[in-house]
Structure 1
């Protein structure tokens, strides 16, 4: 019956490898983004109630720091 599959992310048009496509890096980046978001979004929402700017930075962290770092860590 329906199971949960691992998401596969593909980024084409990159100059970081001879194939001009990346699969492993974006997939790792997405999985790291999802793990960080599960933790940071509820915390950011709670902090947002008291300090709007800090809460926004916490909630934006997975998209602005974690995903790009994971995607660029592996060039294939």
Structure 2
């Protein structure tokens, strides 16, 4: 997995975009007390379910890999 230069900022952008996507779709309502890790996992699984992004092999799914995948997605959106 190649490190992205501004991955932290892209992960924050991905969380914002993912929360908006999930709420517009009616799939979830996020609370301010939800942790970033919970949001990352939910958004990743929702985008995989909707076939917006390619899924990782289940043995490679971790917080680091999900964050990386969402950062790539955020860099391509808008």
With normalisation by structure 2, the TM-score equals 0.35
Rg larger for: 1
Larger RCO (CA within 8 A; separation ≥ 6): 2
More strand by proportion, 1 or 2? 1
